[in-house]
Amino acid sequence: MGPYVQQKYNSPRQLQYALYSSEQEYAGGSPQPAFFGFSSSVTNTDRSGIEKMGSSGKPALLRKLRIVNDNLIDTKPNEADIVILETSKGIIEIELDRMKAPITVKNFINYVNEGFYDGLCFHRVVKDFMIQSGGFYSNGSIKIPGDPIKIESANGLKNIKGTIAMARGSDPNSATSEFYINTVDNPNLDYPSFDGYGYTVFGKVSNGFEVVKAIESATTITQETKFGELSDWPLEPIIINRAYMKDD
């Protein structure tokens, strides 16, 4: 089975777990982040509230709260969530934007805290586009993710150089664990993009962009997997040795 992106990236491709096709095309003029995961409908309840008391019973810093799928999310307006990716090429620090993308940030942090990303590789590297991880081991086997989340691509954040965003399938609410880091400005991926939805940006690289560029420069091959041949796969495995919250 041939590569899912043409050599000059003249047309975008999408991949979905259990539905792989190297000939599946979507309207547009450049590639989109490919996705491997299950698709299903996602319901969401989004309400607001204010936390007024700390654990000691004394008044605490007021924080905006959101209830998503019956889970209380603290949006921490005055605190930054920083994720550290210790990769085989060096350390990348990512500052997450909980205020603009609360569902996506909560989902990403959950995967980080579970150790889900530890040992996974960057399985797709496209020069002057992006680097992608969050779904595969270097031997081509997949790590099964959790449930998909609701898209938040209309949050005002843009796919500019150095930002992190979620990969997904043709279903806008199909993002799970896979993410990509833009190595250049990619306005074609911004809401509403080619399909009316675009891709959810939820943070930015705050330190270590030189590591991102080093990953981007990797020599790539076509890798044989259970889904067929996947192009843009680094010849030398590039591994996320550990992902964790900076304060951990």
Q: Model-level pTM greater than 0.75?
A: no
Q: Which CATH number goes with the domain that contains 222?
A: 2.40.100.10
pLDDT score recorded for residue 72: 46
Over residues 229-238, mean pLDDT: 96
Residue carrying the six token digits 């041949």: 229
- Please report whether residue 194 resides in a domain: yes
pLDDT score recorded for residue 95: 98
- Please report whether residue 15 resides in a domain: no
How many domains does the chain divide into? 1
- Residue % of the chain over a pLDDT of 90: 65
Q: Give pLDDT tens digits for 99-120.
A: 999 999 999 999 999 999 999 9
Residue 68 has pLDDT above 50, yes or no: no
Q: Which of 229, 162, 38, 142 is nearest to 134 (CA)?
A: 142
Contact 26, 46 (CB under 8 A): no
CB atoms within 10 A of CB 226: 9
- Please report whether residue 13 resides in a domain: no
**DSSP letters for 92-137:** EEEEE-TTT-HHHHHHHHHHHHHTTTTT-BEEEEETTTEEEESSB-
Question: For residue 198, what are the domain limits?
Answer: 79-245
- Please report whether residue 47 resides in a domain: no
Secondary-structure percent of the chain, ordered helix, strand, coil, rounded to 5: 10, 35, 55
Q: What Rg value do the Cα atoms of the chain yield, rounded?
A: 18
- Please report whether residue 111 resides in a domain: yes
- Please report whether residue 95 resides in a domain: yes
Residue of 75 and 119 predicted with greater confidence: 119
pLDDT score recorded for residue 80: 84
Residue 247 — pLDDT band, cuts 50, 70, 90?
confident
Q: Which residues pair with 66 in a beta bridge?
A: 48, 73
Contact 100, 155 (CB under 8 A): yes
Q: Give pLDDT tens digits for 12-64.
A: 333 222 222 222 333 334 456 655 433 333 333 332 332 333 333 333 333 33
pLDDT score recorded for residue 20: 28
- Please report whether residue 45 resides in a domain: no
d(CA 202, CA 198): 13
- Please report whether residue 220 resides in a domain: yes
pLDDT score recorded for residue 26: 31
Contact 146, 177 (CB under 8 A): yes
